[in-house]
Each structure stands twice: as structure tokens, then as C-alpha cells.
């Protein structure tokens, strides 16, 4: 209706494609859009960081995640077991070496006794009683007497000392037993010291009995029976 009334009016030339016609059409379109309602929202730009709601996790994805967790746990358990085994290797090697040493020393001792045909089983029986904690004083004296009476050569004395050492190094030996063996050796050594001291320092000595552990000294009319 306005276009009919203003036909030919230069002030309304924009209605007929004249100057400012584009602006006029822009304003008309804006008013039409207002009447129709707001436009739908634009989709988010890929780089603006705005993500939509996460998709619903499917059953296959949940199953796969569960398998991954099981594998992760298995790897952790395997690494823990491997570390424990690795940490135990030094102790295992130490035990094996100790066992090998004991076996070697036992075989060596058996061979030494066989070479000199020397039976230490009576002495071993006495030492076994010492190791059980029985009357140590009498057993120490009995052990010392047995050694003195049966070891009359340097070779046998060396053998019996080696045997005593092997008994002391035994893992089953108690600390009290080791101390008692030391007493045996000390008493035996002291007895030899006294005998040899008297034998070499006294003139006129004409008898020296190793088996009896005694020295006869006629000049002084004195008879020494050590530890008898």
C-alpha cells in the first residue's frame, strides 16, 4: 500500500530499487526473522574446546577395559614375583655354598681318618654328650684323657685337632659345646706344657711315658701324674 501511495516520490525511491534499497531489504529481513523466532544455535568450532556430552559406553568397551585391567594386574604380580625371586637368589647361593663347604669338609675329614686308620668314634660319642649339655666338667676331662692316651704322634695330634675343628664348625654345634671343646684343647695343651717343661728342665730323668701322661723324676723322688 505504501508503494502505491508513494509511487513517483523521490524520497521513497529506495522502495523501488533506488538508493538505500539494500539497506531497506536488510531491515525487512531482520523484522521477518524476529517474527519467526531466534535461529538455531551454531555447532561448536572444532578448535574451541567445547565438547558435547560423552557417548554412552558400550558393553564391548566395558569388557575391553576389564581385560586391560586384568592384564595390568597380571603384569604387576609378575614383576613382584620376579623381584622376590631375584632378591632370594643371594640367600639361596649362600646356602648352597655353605652346604657344599660342609660336605667337602666332611669328606676331607673322613679321608684323613681313613689314611691314618684312626677311629675317633669313642671321642665323638663323648663330644656328642657335651653337645647335649650334660655334665661338662667330667666330659671335658674324659675327652682330654682320651686324646692324650690315643694321640701319641704329631700326625695323630694334628688329625684330632682337625677333627675337633670340624665339630666346632658344625652348624648343629651349640655355643656351649664350642666353649667346652676349647676347654678340652686348653687342658690338653696345658698337660703337654707341664710334662715337657718338667722333662726338659730336670736332669736325671730316665722315664717319659706319653701313654700314661706321667714323668718319673728319681732325683727329687717326685712322681707327677697330671690330671689323673
Q: How far apart are CA 192 and CA 30, in angstroms?
A: 131
Query: What is the reported pLDDT for 6?
Result: 56
Q: Are residues 124 and 108 in the same domain?
A: no
- Contact between 163 and 120 (Cβ < 8 Å): yes
Q: Are residues 173 and 191 in the same domain?
A: yes
Other CB atoms within 10 A of residue 147 CB: 23
Domain count, the chain: 2
Query: What is the reported pLDDT for 146?
Result: 93
- Contact between 131 and 177 (Cβ < 8 Å): yes
Is 22 within the bounds of a domain? Answer: no
Is 67 within the bounds of a domain? Answer: yes
- Contact between 178 and 138 (Cβ < 8 Å): no
Query: What is the reported pLDDT for 137?
Result: 84
Is 24 within the bounds of a domain? Answer: no
Q: Are residues 172 and 111 in the same domain?
A: no
Q: Are residues 104 and 143 in the same domain?
A: no
Q: Are residues 65 and 91 in the same domain?
A: yes
User: CA 217: distance to chain centroid?
Assistant: 64
Q: Are residues 162 and 184 in the same domain?
A: yes
- Contact between 227 and 189 (Cβ < 8 Å): no
Residues of the chain short of pLDDT 70, as ranges, are 1-18, 20-24, 28, 36-57, 135, 200-228
According to DSSP, the β-strands at 207-209 and 222-225 are unpaired
Helices 154-168 & 175-201 angle (0-180, nearest 10):
160
Query: What is the reported pLDDT for 123?
Result: 92
Query: What is the reported pLDDT for 15?
Result: 60
Q: Are residues 88 and 130 in the same domain?
A: no
Q: Are residues 125 and 188 in the same domain?
A: yes
Is 142 within the bounds of a domain? Answer: yes
Q: Are residues 89 and 154 in the same domain?
A: no
Q: Are residues 110 and 141 in the same domain?
A: no
Is 52 within the bounds of a domain? Answer: no
Query: Helix or strand or coil: residue 214?
Result: strand
Query: What is the reported pLDDT for 44?
Result: 58
HEC profile for 38-59? Answer: CCCCCCCCCCCCCCCCCCCCCH
Query: What is the reported pLDDT for 135?
Result: 67
Q: Are residues 188 and 153 in the same domain?
A: yes
C-alpha cell at 132: 647335649
Is 27 within the bounds of a domain? Answer: no
Other CB atoms within 10 A of residue 187 CB: 19
Q: Are residues 180 and 111 in the same domain?
A: no
Is 92 within the bounds of a domain? Answer: yes
List beta partners, residue 214. 209, 225
Q: Running DSSP on this structure, what letter comes out for residue 217?
A: E
Query: What is the reported pLDDT for 93?
Result: 77
Is 171 within the bounds of a domain? Answer: yes
Query: What is the reported pLDDT for 195?
Result: 78
- Determine the structural domain holding residue 106 and report its residue range: 61-117
Amino acid at each position: 500500500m505504501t508503494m502505491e501511495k508513494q509511487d513517483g516520490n523521490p524520497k521513497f525511491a529506495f522502495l523501488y530499487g533506488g538508493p538505500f534499497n539494500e539497506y531497506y531489504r536488510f531491515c525487512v529481513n531482520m523484522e521477518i526473522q524476529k517474527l519467526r523466532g531466534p535461529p538455531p544455535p551454531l555447532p561448536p568450532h572444532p578448535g574451541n574446546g567445547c565438547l558435547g556430552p560423552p557417548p554412552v559406553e558400550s558393553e564391548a568397551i566395558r569388557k575391553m577395559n576389564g581385560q586391560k585391567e586384568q592384564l595390568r594386574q597380571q603384569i604387576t604380580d609378575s614383576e613382584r614375583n620376579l623381584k622376590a625371586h631375584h632378591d632370594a637368589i643371594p640367600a639361596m647361593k649362600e646356602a648352597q655354598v655353605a652346604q657344599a663347604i660342609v660336605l667337602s669338609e666332611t669328606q676331607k675329614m673322613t679321608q684323613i681318618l681313613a689314611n691314618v686308620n684312626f677311629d675317633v668314634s669313642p671321642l665323638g660319642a663323648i663330644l656328642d654328650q657335651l653337645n647335649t649339655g650334660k655334665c661338662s666338667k667330667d666330659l671335658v676331662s674324659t675327652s682330654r684323657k682320651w686324646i692324650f692316651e690315643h694321640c701319641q704322634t704329631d700326625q695323630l695330634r694334628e688329625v684330632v685337632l682337625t677333627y675337633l675343628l670340624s665339630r666346632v664348625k658344625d652348624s648343629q654345634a651349640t655355643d656351649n659345646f664350642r666353649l667346652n671343646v676349647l676347654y678340652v684343647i686348653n687342658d690338653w695343651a696345658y698337660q703337654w706344657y707341664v710334662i715337657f717343661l718338667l722333662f726338659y728342665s730336670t736332669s736325671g730323668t730316665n722315664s717319659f711315658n706319653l701313654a700314661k701322661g706321667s714323668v718319673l723324676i728319681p732325683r727329687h723322688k717326685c712322681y707327677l701324674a697330671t690330671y689323673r
